[in-house]
Amino acid sequence: MDSDIVQPITTQEKHRGKEPAIHKYFRAMVKTNASDLHLKADSVPRLRLKTRIVPVKGKPLSAEELYNMAMEILDERQREFFDKYGSIDVADELEGSDRFRINIFRQRGKVSIAARRVSRNIPTFEELHLPDQIRKIAEHTSGLVLLAGITGAGKSTTIAAMLEHINQTRPCHIVTIENPIEYLYTDKKAIINQREVGIDVPDFSSALKYLMREDPDVVLIGEMRDRETFAAALQAAETGHLVFGTIHASGAAQTIGRILDLFEPASRDLVRQSLGFNLRAIIYQQLLPCLVEGIERVPAVEILLNNPSARQMIEQGRDAELPTVIRSSQHEGMKDFTYSLLELIEKDYVDPKVAYEAAPNPDELKMLLSGISTSQTGLRSK
């Protein structure tokens, strides 16, 4: 074992005797489908239900109660870490139920706890209202697949559906590197190892350093924020692995520029060549409020598949022409974002006003809704 591998900060000891007091709040989270728990000294516990934080019925927790609750789930080494740094990430699970990522931190000399519920319930493509092409992209066995969009656009959930599809259909080894883990997988045809930054491994760099020793077939790198992370993803794709990653970008074409910005100008031509050869797809999505009762939000999706035309545009630095490639290749499974908005309106899923606000060119969307098709859009009319 290499000496520079740090021991993970995680709850390793089995709970002995009575159940930890915090578990009753975890059970309340599962029962109410809450995403987060907030415990603060001298305050009533609170749960996040969808976007709202609501108080739990009961009395406020004293500083002593909350301190004891926190120490109950830490071992001796973790308590020393918390005493030194004033904050620690740990993980815990309810047996046969969900996992919880817990941050214990000190504020104004007292202990507070924030816990995120990590669900085992992974939505299907149908439940997410994703186009069937997403399923086909997940069936690649090598290359790079990128999910682009802003924070809260549902990128992690779409990837979870893709990984679960692989899990159900392909005997392989899936390794995820996440911060934080968003969904828990149960091994089916695949074996899945999930590494959480800050709990199982100190940082992305350390996780990537030893990735190839773990014999993965499919890799998820939670978020590609720096050159080192993206270079490792490209290297894994080049060596025959299927690699998924998320990136903040405002469209498929803009994703290429976002990637190149991570690298020095002198190396960008090589990155373009590698992308041209290894990229399989870029999926950009936005979540929009849905008009259908029982469906909170639906995705508007843009899909760029790396066909010969797209590859040529990427390698030659003609990124601005990629939207034209998407529009002219929708019969191949690509999807134009404006056309995706049009479909959502026609299905009565999304209010036209909401779609106009999301559209890159609202006038173009209005023309399509009016049944007007232009050579500029390349989209079919109604």
DSSP string, 106-127: EETTEEEEEEEEEBS-PPPHHH
* Domain co-membership, 187 together with 319: yes
* Domain co-membership, 157 together with 231: yes
Q: Is the dihedral of CA 244, 245, 246, 247 positive or negative?
A: negative
* Domain co-membership, 75 together with 183: no
Q: Strand 173-178 vs strand 191-196: parallel, antiparallel, or unpaired?
A: parallel
Compute the distance between CA of residue 302 and CA of residue 321 in angstroms, rounded to an integer. 15
Give pLDDT, residue 165: 98
* Domain co-membership, 165 together with 311: yes
* Domain co-membership, 149 together with 241: yes
Tally of domains in the chain: 2
Q: How confident is the model at residue 306 (pLDDT cuts 50, 70, 90)?
A: very high
Q: Which of 150, 170, 162, 352 lies closest to 254 in space, CA to CA?
A: 150
Decide: 208 and 123 in contact? Cβ < 8 Å.
no
In a domain, 303, yes or no: yes
Q: Which two tokens stand for residue 128?
A: 């997410």
Q: Encode pLDDT of 309-343 as tens digits.
A: 999 999 999 999 999 999 999 999 999 999 999 99
Structural domain including 89 reads: 23-118
In a domain, 224, yes or no: yes
Q: At residue 376, does pLDDT exceed 90?
A: no
In a domain, 353, yes or no: no
Quickly list H helices, 139-198: 155-169
Q: How confident is the model at residue 259 (pLDDT cuts 50, 70, 90)?
A: very high
Q: At residue 367, does pLDDT exceed 70?
A: yes
Q: Encode pLDDT of 192-201 as tens digits.
A: 999 988 888 8
Q: Which residue has the higher pLDDT, 224 or 301?
A: 301
Q: At residue 8, does pLDDT exceed 90?
A: no
Q: How confident is the model at residue 16 (pLDDT cuts 50, 70, 90)?
A: low
Q: Tell me the residue type at 166.
A: I
Q: How confident is the model at residue 288 (pLDDT cuts 50, 70, 90)?
A: very high
In a domain, 375, yes or no: no
Q: Which of 63, 116, 64, 107 lies closest to 86 in space, CA to CA?
A: 107
Average pLDDT over residues 155-169: 97
pTM comes to 0.83
Q: Which of 18, 204, 199, 222 lies closest to 104 in space, CA to CA?
A: 199
* Domain co-membership, 114 together with 130: no
Decide: 343 and 382 in contact? Cβ < 8 Å.
no
* Domain co-membership, 81 together with 137: no
Average pLDDT across the chain, whole number: 90
* Domain co-membership, 138 together with 101: no
Q: Which residues neighbour 382 within 8 Å (Cβ) at sequence distance 6 or greater?
A: 346, 368, 369, 371
Give pLDDT, residue 372: 61
Q: Can the peptide bond before residue 8 be classed as cis, meaning omega within 30 degrees of 0?
A: no
Compute the distance between CA of residue 155 and CA of residue 292 in angstroms, rounded to an integer. 22
Give pLDDT, residue 237: 95
Average pLDDT over residues 13-35: 83
Quickly list H helices, the chain: 23-32, 63-72, 76-85, 125-128, 133-138, 155-169, 204-209, 227-238, 252-260, 268-278, 308-315, 322-328, 337-346, 352-358, 362-369
In a domain, 350, yes or no: no
What's 222's domain CATH number? 3.40.50.300
DSSP single-letter state for residue 212: G
Buried b / exposed e along 142-172 (16+ C-beta atoms within 10 A): bbbbbbbbeeebbbbbbbbbbbbbbbeebeb
Q: Which of 233, 280, 284 lies closest to 255 in space, CA to CA?
A: 284
Domain boundary among 78, 97, 118: 118
* Domain co-membership, 98 together with 181: no
Compute the distance between CA of residue 60 and CA of residue 66 in angstroms, rounded to an integer. 10
* Domain co-membership, 132 together with 106: no
Average pLDDT over residues 238-253: 94
Q: Encode pLDDT of 212-222 as tens digits.
A: 999 999 999 98
Q: Tell me the residue type at 98.
A: D
Q: Encode pLDDT of 38-49 as tens digits.
A: 999 999 999 999
In a domain, 148, yes or no: yes
Compute the distance between CA of residue 47 and CA of residue 106 in angstroms, rounded to an integer. 20
Give pLDDT, residue 9: 44
Q: 215-219, 229-233, 356-360, 376-380: which range is least confident on average?
A: 376-380
* Domain co-membership, 236 together with 266: yes
What's 56's domain CATH number? 3.30.450.90
Q: How confident is the model at residue 3 (pLDDT cuts 50, 70, 90)?
A: very low
Q: Encode pLDDT of 327-336 as tens digits.
A: 999 999 999 9
Q: How confident is the model at residue 26 (pLDDT cuts 50, 70, 90)?
A: very high
Q: How confident is the model at residue 205 (pLDDT cuts 50, 70, 90)?
A: confident
Domain boundary among 68, 90, 118: 118
Domain boundary among 118, 140, 171: 118
* Domain co-membership, 144 together with 111: no
In a domain, 4, yes or no: no
Percent of the chain with pLDDT over 90: 76
- CA-based diameter of the chain, in Å? 72
Q: Encode pLDDT of 78-124 as tens digits.
A: 999 999 999 998 889 888 788 898 999 999 999 999 999 988 889 99
Q: 139-143, 177-181, 295-299: which range is least confident on average?
A: 177-181
In a domain, 93, yes or no: yes
